[in-house]
Amino acid sequence: MIFHSFDRSRLAALASAALLALPLSVLAQSDAKPVDVPAAPTQTEDATAGPSFPKPDPADFSADSPTREQVEGFLKANWGFDTKRLYQVQSIAKTIVPGISTVKVLVGEKGNKQIGPLQFFALPDGKHIITAGEILPFSEHPFEENRTTLLKRADGPSRGAADKSLELVEFADFQCPHCKDAQATVEKLATDFPNAHFVFQNFPLGQHPEAFRSAAYGLCVAKQGGDKAFFDYAAAVFDGQAGLATAEGATLTLNSAVTKAGQSPDKVEACSKTPETKAAVEANIKLAQDLGVNQTPMLAINGRLIPFAGINYDTLKQMITWHAANDGAAK
């Protein structure tokens, strides 16, 4: 682990919501070696102070692109929500491949003297980086493209505020156990953020044989009964998720959920088998794939993708609050 001796619980929160809000692998799989740790603070030192970063060497800034200001803007967009996080751009250097730069950032936190390095490669187009084996967007507004895409294409059932200046889009699979567990978190968010526009986007995964049918039924419930009926249906399906283990059990579970949502099982079943409904579910899947959603549940906070099942709730609230205050209106 590059955060060599950080508290494990704090590390989990840092890593799961760290660079680009990627999974733990972004930091955990880094080949970077731990930075030498400064001595522990004496009694005369401020115990709330962070680490003492070594002074950057100007010779380590040999690349023309990206600039230090661009990297700092990019890091602020990703880490601005965390008031304890401290960081310093340590180098932006040329590599043997023309146009590709390697960026090294030292990272710490208030109240802890430990330092960890984070490294990534900036690509020649100035719009992407490579880290932990993934190609990711790079800019001072790295989530703007996703946000614009979601505002145009996230057409799932919605609730909450009509205004979309704070839009939370949940990508979920009705047969995914973690998605079921995450519903309690979504309900808490709906209470804590009444100003947010919540959207449920179906993303049935191929390994779940009844997920596509569950999604199709849900779209038909919404079409026939409205958004409220859909969320009643969704709650009932997640509650009875164990019944989706077999085709026969799924039929009983879905019909029961449709009834609880106040709709006709026969009409919903007929609707679910139409080419239009199948195309609508496939469009939901295509949207998730276009955004790079690779797991469920996934939460998009104004375009920022968060695999939120493993994130501490207070950290998630902190992220949403920060984006609500800093994102402004989408272009």
Beta-carbon-side half-sphere exposure of residue 294 (alpha carbons within 13 Å): 4
Is residue 3 domain-resident? no
Domain C-terminal end among 140, 159, 192? 140
- Give me 324's structure tokens: 């609500």
Of all residues in the chain, the percent with pLDDT exceeding 70 is: 85
Q: Report pLDDT digits (tens) over 51-77.
A: 999 999 999 999 999 999 999 999 999
**Domain ends where: 85, 106, 140?**
140
Average pLDDT over the chain, rounded to whole? 87
Q: For residue 130, give the H/E element and its range.
A: strand 128-131
pTM of this structure: 0.84
If asked whether residues 37 and 78 sit together in one domain, one would say yes
Claim to verify: residue 306 and residue 165 sit in the same structural domain? yes
Residue 33 has pLDDT above 70, yes or no: no
Q: Are residues 76 and 212 in the same domain?
A: no
Asked if residue 38 has a cis previous peptide bond (ω within 30° of 0), the answer is no
Task: Give the DSSP H or E segment for 223.
Answer: helix 211-225
Q: Give domain status of residue 20, yes or no.
A: yes
Number of structural domains in the chain? 2
CA 231 distance to own-chain centroid: 22
Range(s) of the domain holding residue 15: 8-140
Residues 189 and 307 in one domain: yes
Q: CATH number of the domain at 160, please.
A: 3.40.30.10
Pair 230, 217 in one domain = yes
Tokens of 50: 């962070």
Burial 13-36 (b: 16+ CB within 10 A, else e): bbbbbbbbbbbbebbeebeeeebe
Facing residues of 134 across strands? 131
Q: Tell me which of 32 and 106 has the higher pLDDT.
A: 106
